[in-house]
Amino acid sequence: MNTMPPTIRIPLLAVLATCTLVAVTGCHSIDFYDQTLQGPVPPPMEPPRELSMMCLPSYQIEPPDIVQIEMIKQIPLPPYRTEAHDALMISVVGTLLDQPINDFYRIDGEGNVDLGPAYGKLRLAGMTIEETQTAIHEHLSQVLRVPEVSVQLEEASGVQQLTGVYPVGPDGSVNLRRYGRVHLAGKTIAEAKAALEEHLAQFFDSPEVGINVAEYRSKVYYIIAEGAGLDESVVREQITGNETVLDALTVLGGRPQLSSKDIWIARPAPGGFGCEQILPVDYDAITRGGSSATNYQMLPGDRLFVAEDRLLATTNLISKFTTPIQRVLGVASLGTSAVRGFQTLGRGFNLQRGRTNVF
């Protein structure tokens, strides 16, 4: 008579059915990276590939980038006082007919300007433009009746030229020498332009600056190739925004001899999450079939990992253990041969002497 309650009988039958199924089919491990266990990736999350690349966000300047700065407008703040080697545009109405004054005049090392044989020299260094114009008028009034003088600053030798190439330092700033430092790290090109113009407004009247990145050094990706039991190689390559997996492999001159065709991209997870982003690469499909499905676009921070050849790795591992033993045995064999040689050397020499004495 069966006294088992019905509520217990049903779970027991389920357990027996599960055990029977396991016994028939066997145990199988679950591959948590099996793509069949995952749903399709939404289109916005699809990684960019060879034929569907994405434009990178606005470039942010970071150390150790190199920037090109061009000063478009560099007029000193008034009142500017002239210095030696400054160039002035002097125009005078009412001069002598054979000696006009309408040209560029440079202040010499002593601070004087030579206006010509009929007018002589006068000292202009250390004056403002208005004071310079008054001094020239008073000087020419000794020779001319009613001179009308106009003076403009054409070139200020005391103003340092800022146009040039500047490295972004480890602190994220560029050194403008006598005009101080400006922090540019984390700024786009437009933001860096505004920061430079705001800083230089302390020294110039409404400065205008052009800036561009001369060398992109801060945005990189890495190529890591296993050495099949030997040292791994790690290559740091600058990124310009248009590189694919195939471009990255050309940096190594192709797939290394010690490597297999097992290649993938390890991409840093956004937002600081600890999960892995692994993009497997089908090397044969890319190279032999011209497929772009896994020829992914390289993004800043990517790690292209080229796995080792397992057979070569095993061979090198065995060689690591057997080579020292072979060397020790080789030295021992060489030593034994040397000892035997010395032992037989004397016997042969005595035998030869005995033969010589007989004759």
Is residue 208 domain-shared with residue 224, that is, in the same domain? no
Is residue 235 domain-shared with residue 293, that is, in the same domain? yes
For residue 114, tell me if it sits in a domain. yes
Is residue 208 domain-shared with residue 254, that is, in the same domain? no
Is residue 205 domain-shared with residue 184, that is, in the same domain? yes
- Model confidence pLDDT, tens digit, residues 164-206: 999 999 999 999 988 999 999 999 999 999 999 999 999 988 8
For residue 321, tell me if it sits in a domain. no
Q: Which of 127, 155, 183 is the last residue of a domain?
A: 155
Average pLDDT of the residues in 243-258: 85
For residue 32, pLDDT over 60 is answered with no
Q: What is the CATH number of the domain that holds 148?
A: 3.30.1950.10
Whole-number percent of the chain with pLDDT over 90 = 39
For residue 344, tell me if it sits in a domain. no
pLDDT at site 355 = 56
Q: Which residue has the higher pLDDT, 22 or 44?
A: 44
Q: What is the CATH number of the domain that holds 282?
A: 3.10.560.10
For residue 65, pLDDT over 60 is answered with yes
- Cβ atoms of 189 and 203 within 8 Å: the answer is no
For residue 25, tell me if it sits in a domain. no
Separation CA 311–CA 314 (nearest Å): 5
Average pLDDT of the residues in 109-138: 92
Q: Which residue has the higher pLDDT, 312 or 4?
A: 312
Separation CA 48–CA 269 (nearest Å): 15
Q: Which domain holds residue 230?
A: 220-311
Q: How many Cα atoms within 13 Å fall on the side-chain side of residue 32?
A: 2
Average pLDDT of the residues in 102-111: 92
Greatest mean pLDDT among 41-55, 244-258, 287-301, 313-327: 287-301
- Cβ atoms of 160 and 116 within 8 Å: the answer is no
Q: Where are the alpha helices (DSSP H) in the chain?
A: 6-25, 129-140, 189-200, 245-251, 283-287, 310-358
For residue 206, tell me if it sits in a domain. yes
- Cβ atoms of 237 and 221 within 8 Å: the answer is yes
Largest distance between two CA atoms of the chain: 144
Q: Which residue has the higher pLDDT, 142 or 42?
A: 142
Is residue 263 domain-shared with residue 293, that is, in the same domain? yes
For residue 15, pLDDT over 70 is answered with no
- Model confidence pLDDT, tens digit, residues 72-102: 888 888 888 898 999 999 999 999 989 999 9
For residue 149, pLDDT over 60 is answered with yes
User: pLDDT-based confidence at 24, cuts 50/70/90?
Assistant: very low
User: pLDDT-based confidence at 338, cuts 50/70/90?
Assistant: confident
pLDDT at site 273 = 65
Is residue 112 domain-shared with residue 191, that is, in the same domain? no
pLDDT at site 8 = 46
Is residue 128 domain-shared with residue 104, that is, in the same domain? yes
pLDDT at site 31 = 42
User: pLDDT-based confidence at 33, cuts 50/70/90?
Assistant: very low
For residue 291, tell me if it sits in a domain. yes
Q: Which of 140, 155, 170 is the last residue of a domain?
A: 155
Is residue 231 domain-shared with residue 288, that is, in the same domain? yes
Among candidate residues 313, 182, 184, 245, the one with its CA nearest the CA of residue 48:
245
Q: What are phi and psi of 222, to 5 degrees?
A: -120, 145
For residue 263, tell me if it sits in a domain. yes
Is residue 191 domain-shared with residue 174, that is, in the same domain? yes
Lowest mean pLDDT among 165-174, 251-260, 267-276: 267-276
For residue 27, pLDDT over 90 is answered with no
Whole-number percent of the chain with pLDDT over 70 = 80
Among candidate residues 179, 301, 288, the one with its CA nearest the CA of residue 238:
301
Q: Which of 105, 124, 155 is the last residue of a domain?
A: 155
Is residue 225 domain-shared with residue 305, that is, in the same domain? yes
Provide the domain count of the chain.
Answer: 3
Lowest mean pLDDT among 36-40, 50-54, 295-299: 36-40
pLDDT at site 12 = 55
Mean pLDDT, the chain, whole residue set: 81
For residue 248, tell me if it sits in a domain. yes
Is residue 178 domain-shared with residue 111, that is, in the same domain? no
Is residue 173 domain-shared with residue 114, that is, in the same domain? no
